[in-house]
Amino acid sequence: MIYLLYNAKSKNGCNPELQKKLEEKYGIEEKKDVIELDYKEFIKTLKKTDKVILTGGDGTLHHFANYVDGIDLPCNFYFYSSGTGNDFLNDMKDKVEDDLILLNDVVKNLPTVIINDKKYKFIDGVGFGIDGYCCEVGDEKQAKSTKPVNYASIAIKGLLFHYKRPNAKVTVDGVTKEYKKVWLAPTMKGKYYGGGMIIAPDQDRFNSERLVTNVVMHKAGKLHTLMVFSKIFKGEHIKHKKMVDVRVGKHVIVEFSRPTALQIDGETVKGVLKYEVVID
């Protein structure tokens, strides 16, 4: 049996034309909406010869990874990217076969982020700072309009006018550094976030030690930051070492001096003072 899992809340994932295309391309025999799906019960019904295709964006994939955490997948699960940001797809281009990415190994041993005593697995990264602010403002715009959200515009306006920079204390594997006027402080499993920004260009999601990368952009003035910010799309921002600090490790704690929005694989959490990333 070949199943298609789609997200009814995703504009692209539940598109009838896309579903028809996937049905014809892969011989889909049954479709299920992940919003109503009990993954544990569904997985119990699967056989080794079955095939499951999940379609949606990074948010859909984030929820899938958390639902199946700790569960042995009995057959092959694949991802067909139909989102708008597609950071996971960008990071996995060399793993794509027939427009599909095999998920079975990808969703194993993911890092955990702890926020307000709640634990989440993440597949791309955790963004804290202006990146979280952009997601917060983007969510507000989506709630009021059906027009596509221009996150680049939100980022530029936030950088120049609206985003108020906190101070931060960042601890990586027991070594603590303090930063003034922090623009962003993400911790990454993959290279990409924010719809194509190569925020951690040297991060390898398959590295044998399961290390993650923390990036802090801080202190510089607005115009200088705007210039460097544009270089994130090529991963060249890390050359500016006076304002960009990159550290790699297994245990990361980021504490801000005031509550700030945070995003996990594009999913927004408001009013956060601290997050902690651990490798279980």
- How open is the CA angle 7-70-97, to the nearest 5 degrees? 55
Give the phi and the psi of residue 80 in degrees, each rounded to 5. Answer: -110, 110
Q: Which residues of the chain have pLDDT under 70?
A: 10-14
**What is the three-class DSSP state of 27?**
coil
CA distance 111 to 120: 8
Predicted pLDDT of residue 152: 76
Predicted pLDDT of residue 149: 74
Predicted pLDDT of residue 266: 87
Do the two domains 2-102 and 112-278 of this chain adopt the same fold? Answer: no
Name which of 173, 178, 133, 127 is nearest 153 in CA terms. 133
Query: Could you tell me if 60 and 34 are in contact, meaning their C-beta atoms sit under 8 angstroms apart?
Result: yes
Query: Could you tell me if 228 and 165 are in contact, meaning their C-beta atoms sit under 8 angstroms apart?
Result: no
Fold of 112-278: Tumour Suppressor Smad4 (2.60.200)
**What is the three-class DSSP state of 58?**
helix
Question: 118-138, pLDDT tens digit by residue?
Answer: 999 999 999 999 989 988 988
Query: Could you tell me if 211 and 188 are in contact, meaning their C-beta atoms sit under 8 angstroms apart?
Result: no
CATH superfamily of 2-102: Probable inorganic polyphosphate/atp-NAD kinase; domain 1 (3.40.50.10330)
Contacts of 194 (CB under 8 A, 6+ apart): 85, 87, 127, 131, 134, 151, 155, 232
Query: Could you tell me if 125 and 193 are in contact, meaning their C-beta atoms sit under 8 angstroms apart?
Result: yes
Instruction: Please state the domain extents for the chain.
Output: 2-102, 112-278
**What is the three-class DSSP state of 248?**
strand
Predicted pLDDT of residue 14: 65
Predicted pLDDT of residue 12: 60
| Lookup: tokens for 194 | 């924010």
* Residue 142: how many other CB atoms lie within 10 Å: 13
